[in-house]
Structures are given as structure tokens and as C-alpha cells.
Amino acid sequence: MTDQPSEGPSQPAGEPADFTRVRRLPELQSTDVADLHDVLDSALVAHVGLVMDGRPFVLPMAYARDGDRVLLHGSTGSRLFLALRDGAEVCFSVTVLDGLVLARSAFESSMGYRSAMVFGSCVPVEGEARLRAFERLTERLLPGRWADVRQPNAKELAATAMLELPLSSWSVKISSDDPADSPEDLHTDYWAGTVPLLRMWGEPVPAEDLKAGVPIPDYIAKWRHGGA
């Protein structure tokens, strides 16, 4: 299969450093910041790469885009999270798999996907801005919930490290095309096309210890399908 999401990073907008220059399938690249926002707003979990003791680590992390930054949070009990807090260089990667692309040849079969990489270092969110960041994260992951949840107290805020990563150096690739079969394969009788991958929220499941009579909140029914 060709044209899977592994083809490497693209030219970031705003920072044409050589290490992110497009080398593979540059025609899939987008430099439109609206596409970056679309990818980041279509998933809930990012894979954050960093180097520690010379080794690569990739952490799955919940995140929220907030304007031209992404917000991340974690526990100060996590060594890797502390490295993020202390400014380790990161590759923040989000991939949305939209479907499978069946070409007549195994070689040309591929995936429909949208992927983003953001390069840079995180900065701690401090002071009054922390509660606002907590709100933004909660509302992004659980829309409508902030007004219907016990908000964090001072102790909980202190136990949560909140980080922001600016969206200044990034690359986006979008692959949404039909299969690209060789001309000599077009006459074959193999089916060709795409099979979309759909995501949706299932029926809410109440906690076993839920107080009797508390109904499922209305806002959950308005959630968009989630990403991975």
C-alpha cells in the first residue's frame, strides 16, 4: 500500500526549517491554517513525541485546541509530563483516519486520512489562566459539561500541570482521493473505491453509584462524532 500516513512531515507554515521539508507526496500537503484547525478539532487524543535520555517516547494525550495553541494537561507525578513542562522539544501528532481506499492493485491501496504535526515546546499556563484552560479542555472534550460539573478547587488546580503548545510550526497532510490505479489496471474486474470509517457516540452508561433519579444530560446528545 502506498500513500499511507507514514510519508513524513511537510513544510510547516511560518518556519521553513529544512527538517520538515516535504519529501514524500508533497501534493497532499496543506498550508491552510483552517485545515490545521480542522484536523485538531476532529480528534480528542494526540500522540506527543519527545526525546528523553536520547530515546524516543510517544505519549497519547487528551488535548484541546484553543485558538492558536493547543492545551495539554497532566500530573506532576509523571516524569515524561514533567519533561514536557520543562520545555522538551516535541512533535505533537494528530491523525484522523477517514477510511480505506481500495485500488485494483494491492500496491496502490491506501488510506484516507488527515494528519497534523506541530513542532515546538510547551509552556506552562500559570495563574488565573489555569482555570480558563481547564474550562476550555473540559468543554472541548465534553461539550456542555463545564456548567454541569463540580469545577476544580484550588487543590485540584494545584495538582494539575496545564501546558500550552503554540501552533506556529506545523504541517498538515490530507489524503481524500479515489484510488490512483495504474492505467493498465483500470480495465480489470476488481472493485475499486473507498470505505469510510465513521465514529459516533453510543448510548451513555450511568455509573453504578449514580444517585437515583439523575437524568442523562441533554448536551450529550449534541456531541459530534468523536475522533481518536
Which residues within the stretch 165-194 sit at the binding site for its own copies (CB under 8 A)? 178-179, 181, 185-194
Single out the residue of 164, 160, 166 nearest to residue 74, CA to CA.
160
Check: CB of residue 197 under 8 Å from CB of residue 98: yes
Min. distance of Cβ 89 from its own copies in angstroms? 6
Q: Does 154 bind its own copies (CB under 8 A)?
A: no
Among 15, 23, 32, 67, binds its own copies (CB under 8 A): 23
Strand bridging mode 69-75 / 55-66: antiparallel
Q: Nearest Cα to 18, choosing from 171, 209, 123?
A: 171
Q: What's the min distance (Å) between Cβ of 151 and its own copies?
A: 6
Polymer length in residues for the chain: 228
In the complex, the smallest distance separating the C-beta of residue 6 from its own copies, rounded to whole angstroms, is 4
> Restricting to residues 39-68, which ones interact with its own copies according to CB under 8 A?
43-45, 47-62
Distance between CA 121 and CA 82 in Å, rounded?
Answer: 12
- Does 227 bind its own copies (CB under 8 A)? Our answer is yes
CA atoms 125, 128, 150, 204: torsion sign = negative
Q: Is residue 1 close enough to count as binding its own copies by CB under 8 A? A: yes
212 contributes a contact to its own copies by CB under 8 A:
no
Stretch that binds its own copies, among 33-41, 122-130, 164-172, 196-204 (CB under 8 A): 196-204
With contacts defined by CB under 8 A, name the span among 33-41, 122-130, 164-172, 217-225 that binds its own copies.
217-225
What is the residue whose three cell numbers read 487524543? Answer: 45
Contacts with its own copies, 75-114, as mask; x by CB under 8 A: x-xxxxx-------xxxxx-xxx-xx-xxxxxx-x-x-x-
Residue 221: C-alpha distances to residues 47, 143, 149 (Å): 28, 10, 17
Tell me how far the alpha carbon of residue 116 is from its chain's centroid: 7
Considering the rule CB under 8 A, would residue 158 count as an interface residue with its own copies? Answer: no
Q: CA 114 to CA 157: how far, in whole Å?
A: 34
CA atoms within 13 Å, Cβ hemisphere of 112:
16
Binding residue for its own copies (CB under 8 A) from 34, 126, 128, 202?
A: 202
The residue from 9, 28, 122, 133 that contacts its own copies (CB under 8 A) is 9
